[in-house]
Structure 1
Amino acid sequence: MATAVETLGKLERRITISFPLTDVRTEVEKRLKVQARTAKAPGFRPGKVPLKMVAAQYGYQIESEVLNDKVGRAFNDAANENNLRVAGFPNIVPKEEAAEGQLAFDATFEVYPEVAIGDLTAVEIETVQADVSEAEIDKTIDILRKQRVHFHAKGEAGEHGDGGEPIAANGDRVTVDFVGSIDGVEFPGGKAEGYAFVLGEGRMLPEFEAATLGLKVGESKTFPLSFPEDYHGKDVAGKTASFTITLQKLEWAHLPEVDAEFAKSLGVADGDLAKMREDIKVNLQREVAGRVKARNKEAVMDALIKVAELDVPKTLIAQDSERLAEMTRQDMAQRGMNVKDVPFPAELFAEKAERRVRLGLILSQLVGDNNLQATPEQVKAQIEDFAQSYEDPREVLKYYYSDRRRLGEIEALVLEENVVTYVLGLSKVTTKAVAFDELMGSNAQA
């Protein structure tokens, strides 16, 4: 049986549930007899172990299972009888005072909130759009060339030339020996031999690169270098050191020509340059479309958070915080980082979790009120769109349709898009053109 529902706060509720102690004992004895049929003990044949020995070995475990089952069933029955939408899991503790022959428990829990969504026709949302021009295609080709760069000794004649005068310049790869000291004393990390880097990429401090420019192989230079106050090496941060560098090797960068061989290296079988540019354009357009969609979805989600009123269950925030902490731990471990002893306090993820839970409740309300569920046709179309960038689209379809969890991820994605389309169709929308570089530098996430 259960008492009437007590209201402890906006969302917090409490129910006291109880049942006869004899019910527990009867069920425990029943399960012990079942356990005894297969129980094993030294000196006894299987199934012939005395019930007292079975009780001594399994009694505590079985009693805990029975209590959990009965308390869980009683709580669920009480929640259903009172039409309660329980958020998360209840906190169930034994009640100190109970009627004779009864076991009693207090179940404290939260319920899902009422979600009030304001007038969407009055909401103002700014969306973005971007285009892919020939300049973006050229820029992408330059990046692809740099990714395929190879170096040759500068000043030595070769298949691709000699690279010009053999002095260090931006774009060259230099290999140097260096030693640094502060007040005449060398410091840890301030010395290296055969250290290679490309001038102009900013890997070294500006003074270091400036001193290297103009050197020839075998030449040395001594110069002062001031470490920034926020330098990662705390022992030298904010201090000035004296460095001596010696150029041991000088190489110039040869970028591959944009020709048929280059096109073939990008997967264009016949080396057709026009086809290569078209492929690059299609890929860029797909990437731009994805970024635009993400930015616009973010704008819609921000608008929904502002226009909706609801209390967010703390239980759900705590659960999602734990989930985010574990996802972060797994992600870092997969990247090869040792996180075995690294703490991941769930509190660090509470703000993000609160937003995620809030949006989830708002979206659920909108979907239910306006029939915005993902249809099988939409899900299939979304998977087919993903599959376009893979060599074997059929394998992508198989990947998602063979796992209900994966399919659920796609359904959730389509559902969000349905909500975005619905909200944009009602609200006051303005569209702003953004530069390609600005868009590609953003990482909008809802």
Structure 2
Amino acid sequence: MQAQLETLSGLERRLSFSVPRDQIASKVNARLKSLSKTAKIDGFRPGKAPMSIVSQQYGFRVQEEVLGETVERSFADAVQEQKLSVAGYPRFEPKDSAEDADFQFAATFEVYPEVTVGDLAGVEVEKPTLEISDAEIDKTVDILRRQRTRYERITTPAEAENRVIIDFKGTIDGEPFEGGSAENYAFVLGKGQMLPEFEAGITGMKEDEVKNVEVNFPADYHGKDVAGKTATFEITVKNVAQAQLPEVDAEFAKTLGIADGDIAKMREEVKANLEREVRFRLKARAKESVMSALIDASPVELPKSLVGLEIGRLAESAQADLKQRGIDPKLVPFSPQMFEAQAKRRVHLGLVLAEVVKANGLEAKPEQVKAIIEDLAQNYEDPTDVVQWYYEKRERLAGPESMALEDNVVDFVQSKGKTVEKPVSFEELMGQQQQA
């Protein structure tokens, strides 16, 4: 088969090729004969309809199927012959041809770019560090206490750190507005869950007290219908409760899985879990620094088709996340631009990583994958079952293998470039998960 290759732009190519008409006709006839043995056609017993009737009823569909399969196979053969690396999916278009001539097609597609990894000797990457001390263990124990907070009803005025349960009805210019009313709404004062004026109006109120509070919505408020407007809320306080934190005693230790309630054992367990979490987060930060350095050092022309596919995957993931949280994705408008920058970064990184791994033999080794799986399994009650689960199916190893590969890349880049250790605070590293 002869094929003509054209370069349309940087990565875009067009491959023109022909498919012999007699070859298609032969395959169509063979498939129709096979189909005629089981075809159900009105007025005939199965397998007894004349070929002319079978061809009349199924011929067009069968030709389309045969032609599609042959075109894809012919394209694959031509690509292999031309030694092309196709990125994404080709777009096939028929070309005009005489009725008795061969079928003519053009496939437009992109090829993978040549990736040249920059000189890593001058690359500077950060390696965050953090040592766990008794102070970090104390902070974590305090967070665990706050997660087990109980609230006890009080009759004194509401103040910061108190939980309140309220009914409220909001109006703007005397008219109710969407989202402006609720019953039995609970929140903790002073946590910034509500607008400051709203919380200030409730502070000092007692159970069963009713009060009107004016609230000015900021001009940049997420609800566009009320942004920049003033609302009046009729607020009824139904309950005020004070936080009661558990004491750090044997009972508290038992709630954390320490059967005998030994406080020292509890602290050792907290320390072990904390060290594991800190190690994961430090690795993630170091990896992010390395990946950013690789991207900066290795400019690449990105195939639009791969970016488009990645945008689609990110959008699907975002929609699935909304569904999981009980939100109808149709209520949240998505546009490709929302995911474009992230998609470009992922495609760029994928291309550069593949080249670094291939050029330097950084593929994941079985022992590395096993060590990662065993480490991940420590987060579960029965680590042995988790390890077994990973090895039951080959595809489940993809995640740990990717982690091992990335570890190899991080180690490689750190060994080639200039690694700068950067101490980070416990609060900075743990972020939102450390908020009570």
Residue 132 of structure 2 is matched in structure 1 by: 132
Opposite residue 95 of structure 1, the aligned amino acid is K
CA contact (8 A) 2:4 2:17 kept: no
Aligned counterparts of 2:332 and 2:216: Cα–Cα separation in 1: 34
Change (3 A) 1:8 1:40: same
Aligned counterparts of 1:322 and 1:193: Cα–Cα separation in 2: 40
Instruction: Find the residue that maps to 1:38 and give its secondary structure.
Output: coil
1:311-350 pair list within 5 angstroms = 311-340=301-330, 344-350=334-340
CA contact (8 A) 1:22 1:101 kept: no
- Pairwise CA RMSD: 2.6
1:162-201 pair list within 5 angstroms = 166-178=156-168, 185=174, 187-188=176-177, 194-201=184-191
Residue 200 of structure 2 is matched in structure 1 by: 210
Aligned counterparts of 2:425 and 2:81: Cα–Cα separation in 1: 58
Deviations 1:89-126 (A, max 9, x none): 22221112469521111122222221111211111112
- C-alpha displacement of 1:343: 5.5
Deviates more, 1:343-352 or 1:272-281: 343-352
Aligned counterparts of 2:326 and 2:166: Cα–Cα separation in 1: 30
Aligned counterparts of 1:340 and 1:225: Cα–Cα separation in 2: 30
Deviates more, 1:172-181 or 1:204-213: 172-181
Opposite residue 21 of structure 1, the aligned amino acid is R
Query: Aligned to 1:283, which of 263, 267, 273?
Result: 273
CA contact (8 A) 2:154 2:240 kept: yes
Deviations 1:64-101 (A, max 9, x none): 12112211221121111222222222222111246952
Residue 240 of structure 2 is matched in structure 1 by: 250
Aligned counterparts of 2:168 and 2:315: Cα–Cα separation in 1: 43
- C-alpha displacement of 1:424: 0.7
- Residue 18 in structure 1 maps to residue 18 in structure 2: yes
- C-alpha displacement of 1:206: 2.4
1:385-404 pair list within 5 angstroms = 385-404=375-394
Mind listing any 5+ residue stretches in structure 1 that lack a counterpart? 156-165
Instruction: Find the residue that maps to 1:390 and give its secondary structure.
Output: coil
Residue 35 of structure 2 is matched in structure 1 by: 35
Change (3 A) 1:10 1:237: closer
Change (3 A) 1:46 1:394: farther
Opposite residue 54 of structure 2, the aligned amino acid is V
CA contact (8 A) 2:117 2:298 kept: yes
Q: How many residues align?
A: 432
- C-alpha displacement of 1:367: 1.1
Opposite residue 384 of structure 1, the aligned amino acid is E
Residue 384 of structure 1 is matched in structure 2 by: 374
CA contact (8 A) 2:21 2:100 kept: no
Aligned counterparts of 2:212 and 2:106: Cα–Cα separation in 1: 77
Residue 53 of structure 2 is matched in structure 1 by: 53
Mind listing any 5+ residue stretches in structure 2 that lack a counterpart? none
Opposite residue 44 of structure 2, the aligned amino acid is F
CA contact (8 A) 2:14 2:109 kept: yes
Residue 67 of structure 1 is matched in structure 2 by: 67
Aligned counterparts of 1:404 and 1:144: Cα–Cα separation in 2: 37
Residue 374 of structure 1 is matched in structure 2 by: 364
- C-alpha displacement of 1:357: 1.4
- C-alpha displacement of 1:297: 0.7
Change (3 A) 1:381 1:88: same
Aligned counterparts of 1:182 and 1:11: Cα–Cα separation in 2: 57
Change (3 A) 1:78 1:196: closer
TM-score, normalization by structure 2: 0.90
Deviates more, 1:28-37 or 1:73-82: 73-82
Instruction: Find the residue that maps to 1:309 and give its secondary structure.
Output: coil
Aligned counterparts of 1:193 and 1:315: Cα–Cα separation in 2: 50
Deviates more, 1:20-29 or 1:219-228: 219-228
- C-alpha displacement of 1:441: 2.0
Instruction: Find the residue that maps to 2:3 and give its secondary structure.
Output: coil
Deviations 1:31-69 (A, max 9, x none): 111111222234433222322232233222211121122
- Residue 227 in structure 1 maps to residue 237 in structure 2: no
Aligned counterparts of 2:182 and 2:285: Cα–Cα separation in 1: 45
Residue 118 of structure 1 is matched in structure 2 by: 118
TM-score, normalization by structure 1: 0.88
Aligned counterparts of 2:110 and 2:181: Cα–Cα separation in 1: 61
Residue 361 of structure 1 is matched in structure 2 by: 351
Deviates more, 1:220-229 or 1:51-60: 220-229
CA contact (8 A) 2:291 2:349 kept: yes
- C-alpha displacement of 1:435: 0.7
Residue 85 of structure 2 is matched in structure 1 by: 85
Deviates more, 1:233-242 or 1:10-19: 233-242
- C-alpha displacement of 1:354: 1.6
Aligned counterparts of 1:115 and 1:440: Cα–Cα separation in 2: 36
Aligned counterparts of 2:334 and 2:232: Cα–Cα separation in 1: 41
- C-alpha displacement of 1:276: 1.2
Opposite residue 41 of structure 1, the aligned amino acid is I
- C-alpha displacement of 1:128: 1.1
- C-alpha displacement of 1:193: 5.7
Residue 257 of structure 2 is matched in structure 1 by: 267
- C-alpha displacement of 1:21: 0.9
Change (3 A) 1:98 1:314: farther
Instruction: Find the residue that maps to 1:275 and give its secondary structure.
Output: helix
1:303-318 pair list within 5 angstroms = 303-318=293-308
CA contact (8 A) 1:36 1:54 kept: yes
